[in-house]
Amino acid sequence: MSRVAAALDAARDAGRGAFVGYLPLGFPDLQTSIDAAVTLAESGADVLELGPPYSDPVMDGTVIQEATQTALAAGFRLRDTFTAVREITARVDIPVLVMTYWNPVMQYGVDRYADDLLAAGGAGLITPDITPDAAAEWIAASERTGLDRVFLAAPTSTDERLALIVRHSTGFVYTVSTMGITGERAELDAAARTLVSRLRSHGAAHACVGIGISTADQVRGVLEYADGAIVGTALVRALRDGGVAGLAAEARALTAGTAR
């Protein structure tokens, strides 16, 4: 049984949608990022999504890019990922996913990465820049270890591509949106809602919507049709500007939108 899917189901059974919170590892330093992740879990997150910093974060916005560059400049190393996950999972009892670009996994060794993540208590990987048809080695490793593999789906994906993503994803499908951009929200809400509907038609049991969600109202809107809302930038900004206490306050404000 997928620990991530179980967490989403538990939120649903409690009468709410799930809140998935993203933070970069190593920002502003390794220990603070560990404490921040624990605080995020204690402040209402159902699933943690942790991002090891990467030198070429092509999918990240400015706030997250600046945070990851700070982490790299402070000396973050890939092996610190497993140290952080181990400490976090020893302190909280919610699933921890690692959101990683694929090159570091390949450099580390796919099987070694899977084994070390499992040993640290991690639940799986979100892989934004690799598609299922190019991920045979990771699919095999995840099946061997029981780790979840979360692939991304976009509004531009063909039905054939969506079917492939659904077939090979476990935990949930990461449903890409750009929610909350001024002047475009209604159109983008419709695109995300339509995409989740398309994923359901291909058999997706769990779909979480991310990218651009930054308010409790936007969380509430997403959870009208999706299983979970994924928030990153708003949390990273809160940590940057207000420390761990500021992060806790922001997380509590966002989770107010999860009630159904």
User: What is the reported pLDDT for 212?
Assistant: 81
**59-68, 73-82, 185-194 — which is least confidently predicted?**
185-194
* Mean pLDDT over the full length of the chain: 93
> Per-domain residue ranges for the chain?
3-251
Answer positive or negative: Cα dihedral of 212, 195, 251, 72.
negative
Banded pLDDT at 188 (limits 50, 70, 90):
low
Can you give the pLDDT at residue 177? 79
Q: What percent of the chain has pLDDT over 90?
A: 86
Whole-angstrom CA distances from 122 to 90, 213, 230, 255 are 11, 25, 18, 23
CATH topology of domain 3-251: TIM Barrel (3.20.20)
Catalytic residue among 60, 116, 189, 250: 60
pLDDT in tens, 13-63: 999 999 999 999 999 999 999 999 999 999 999 999 999 998 776 667 789
pLDDT for 54 equals 83
User: Is the confidence at residue 172, as pLDDT, over 90?
Assistant: yes
**224 flagged as catalytic:** no
Query: How high is the pLDDT of residue 58?
Result: 62
Report, as an integer, the average pLDDT of 191-209: 96
* Mean per-residue pLDDT, 131-152: 98
Distance (Å, whole) CA 143 – CA 61:
32
pLDDT at 260: 86
Q: How confident is the model at residue 179 (pLDDT cuts 50, 70, 90)?
A: very low
Smallest CA-to-CA distance from 233 within 249, 247, 253 is with 247
Average pLDDT rounded to a whole number, residues 134-157:
96
State yes or no: pLDDT of 89 exceeds 60: yes
Percent of the residues in the chain that have a pLDDT greater than 70, as a whole number:
94
pLDDT at 145 over 70: yes
Catalytic residue list contains 143: no
d(CA 239, CA 248): 8
Q: How far apart are the first and last CA of the chain?
A: 25
**What pTM, to 2 d.p., does this model score?**
0.94
Q: What average pLDDT does this structure show over 79-94?
A: 98
For the cut 50, the answer to whether the pLDDT of residue 184 exceeds it is no
Catalytically annotated residue among 9, 29, 46, 49: 49
How confident is the model over 119-133, as pLDDT tens digits?
999 999 999 999 999
Res. 162: pLDDT tops 60 = yes
CB 43 within 8 A of CB 255: yes
Report whether pLDDT(258) > 80: yes
